[in-house]
Structure 1
Amino acid sequence: MQHYTVVVPAAGVGKRMQADRPKQYLHIAGKTLLEHSLERLIQHPQIDKIIVALDKHDPYFEDLPIAQSDWLIRVEGGKERADSVLAGLKAMNTAEWVLVHDAARPCLSRNDLNKLLALSQGGIGGLLATPVRDTMKRANSDSKVLKTESRVNLWHALTPQFFPYQQLLDALQQGLDSGLEITDEASAIEAFGGEVILVEGSATNIKVTHPDDLQLAEFYLSHLQRIYQ
């Protein structure tokens, strides 16, 4: 059985949550979002190591029970997501494939992760995603609608994202060196001509971004825990 390492960028401050701490340290179901996210990953039989990229002055992580786990490696994150992911990749021994997962995405299902890991058999990386179901509006800077966009073939990008290690390392390094705006790992791969496969995942795999997301994440998490007990 092949085993994989996951990089979890967790150096962000989460300003949209309007909380007194970064969103990954907010609590649901008795633990922080970050703890839930890390535990969902390490419970998978093909994941044996997680690298978490933290802010240099992070005052919270060391107090978490999970902080002393032998499967966890801490590195110093950067200003942007891509900087943190690159720091995590450089802390790894050379690997064939690597996953990247959001720190505040605690509701990942094992079934979705299984489908994503199956990409390694074909040699082309990709990411979990969900098809856009709502009508999409494009607006100007004053929030006035300019047009309605077709939702055909539009997808919401989720995580984990899963790519060959060297391909992702090179794409992120080149992207940062050239000043490219890198919104996720797939965007770096795309920018340098790489192919990316979308793997349809569950819409319950939400990223906690706004205060209203906390209750929804807790509901989904309780459902997952019942399934995988």
Structure 2
Amino acid sequence: MEQTVPLSSAYIPMRPKSIAVIIVAAGKGERAGTTGNPDPKQYRLLAGEPVLSRTIKAFLTSDAITQIVAVIHPDHASRYGQLFLDDDRLLPPVYGASTRQGSVLAGLKALAPLHPDLVLIQDAARPFVTPALVERIIAALGQNDGALPTLPVTDTIKRSRDGTLVATTEDRRQLFAAQTPQGFRFGQIFSAHIRAETVSRDFTDDAEIAEWAGLGVTMVEGERTNIKITHPEDFSRAERIIMADHGTETRIGTGYDVHPFAPGDAVWLCGVKIPHKAKLQGHSDADVALHALTDAILGAIGEGDIGTHFPPSDEQWKGAASTLFLAHAGELVARRKGRIVNLDVTIVAEAPRIAAHVPAMCAVIAETLGISADRVAVKATTNEKLGFIGREEGIVSMASASIELPRVD
């Protein structure tokens, strides 16, 4: 028979010397998947920055935090390495397990040699934890074994035995929704997790393990914006939260480019190689469509043009893939804490035929910029045999970009 396991409590009378954070990021985030974006939710871009990066940075803003360890999926090691986070408090990641409980235990084991006083356990998909919330959790641990943020349930809650008929109505005054980070005395929660591993029971969170182990867990006031990204629509809600923090303004940029044909056997358009009787002439891969689109994005954020950032006189860009230029423009948007709303590209050419390649073009642009493919439009038209385009001497492309940026008054 399962038994409660009591653990000793030794209250911390003063500010703890070390406070570690475990960020649980070992899941595959399949429920948050969207068409055209297969990335796990913790690595998807949120207003230009990966969710996991935002979550980690939220804790790095607190001087009270002394160590952070991310628990990741073994298949995501390269993705994690691309976050490029530089802080001495951020420890090397450890691999998680098939369950959240197992992943938290892996994080606890990694921290054990450091003997932290307290540990905060955080979901990777909650990127909006604030310093004030972290402080409330830490303060509560001065007199309690554990602490977690909660919000009172405002909806009327019904219980049903068969999922169809209502059996009873719960007293919502006694119901609270739990959030993370959940904080504990390190030794106590580590011991509780070790013991919980030996019983046949699915624990829903770390506070439940603490309760089962006989620890006193107190509630502190949670935050409405401390949402957990679970479903595709949560990304739109999360972006609205980011923009609401500082207000936004919409910027529009346009781009135009033209390249002549030269002897060759294929052209690059929107990052897709299309067989043709000629190629486009240029210093890079001469992707006229991506050049126009890059200029549109740079124009929207007031960052000059493509030649300013990638001069054709610089030999390092000779033959370079134009997706590099587009990615750079996207990174500049992210640095400004902006959001790409939509992109529109028009290609004007008599040949080659482009329509069959449009889905692949949209996918390349979306992947390069970390946005959903439904924010990208690529269109093609001819010049009705008129002018140099009509004579098949080259290709023209025009593009527009709509971008939201934080308002600066």
Provide the C-alpha distance between the structure 2 equivalents of 1:141 and 1:212, rounded to a whole number of angstroms.
Answer: 28
Fraction of identical pairs, as percent: 34
CA 1:196–1:149 in 2, change beyond 3 Å: closer, same or farther? same
| Counterpart position of 2:96 | 77
Unaligned runs of 5+ in 2: 1-14, 248-409
SS at match of 1:79: coil
Are residues 1:157 and 2:172 paired?
Answer: no
- Displacement of 1:32 after TM fit? 0.9
When residues 150 and 184 of structure 1 are mapped into structure 2, their CA distance, relative to the original with a 3 A threshold, is same
In structure 2, the residue matched to 1:96 is 117
- Distance in 2 (CA, whole Å) between partners of 1:145 and 1:60 is 45
1:171-190 to 2 correspondences below 5 Å = 171-190=192-211
Query: Is it true that 1:13 corresponds to 2:34 in the alignment?
Result: no
User: Given that residues 86 and 173 in structure 1 are in contact (C-alpha distance below 8 angstroms), is that contact kept between their aligned partners in structure 2?
Assistant: yes
RMSD: 1.8
Letter in 2 for 1:7: I
Question: 1:147-203: CA deviations, max 9, x gaps?
Answer: 322211210000000000011001111111112212111010011211110101111
Q: TM-score, normalised by structure 2?
A: 0.52
Q: Which residue of the partner structure matches residue 38 of structure 1?
A: 56
Query: For residue 213 of structure 2, what is the aligned residue in structure 1?
Result: 192
Alpha carbons of structure 1 residues 149 and 202: separation in structure 2 relative to 1, 3 Å = same
Q: Are the aligned partners of 1:131 and 1:200 in contact in 2 as well (CA < 8 Å)?
A: no
Judged with a 3 Å threshold, the aligned counterparts in structure 2 of structure 1 residues 142 and 160 are, in CA distance, closer, same or farther, namely same
Q: Deviations over 1:80-138 (max 9, x none)?
A: 11111111111111122110011000111222221111023214311011111111122
1:134 and 2:155 are equivalent in the alignment: yes
Corresponding residue pairs, total: 225
In the alignment, which residue of structure 1 is the partner of 2:223? 202
8 A contact 2:71–2:104 mirrored in 1: yes
Once the two structures are superposed, what CA deviation does each residue of 1:39-68 show, in whole Å capped at 9, x if it has no partner? 0111011113210001112142112222x5
From the CA coordinates, give the structure whose radius of gyration is larger. Answer: 2
Is the Cα contact below 8 Å between 1:42 and 1:49 reproduced in 2? no
The one-letter amino acid paired with 2:230 is: T
| Separation in 2, partners of 1:46, 1:108 | 14
Corresponding residue to 1:118 among 130, 133, 139: 139
Q: Secondary structure at the match of 2:136?
A: helix
Q: Pick closer, same or farther for the CA change 1:148–1:113 going to 2, 3 Å.
A: same
Q: 8 Å contact 1:109–1:224 — kept in the other structure?
A: no
Name the aligned partner's letter for residue 201 of structure 2. Answer: L
Structure 1 regions of 5+ residues with no counterpart? Answer: none
1:25 corresponds, among 39, 43, 57, to 43
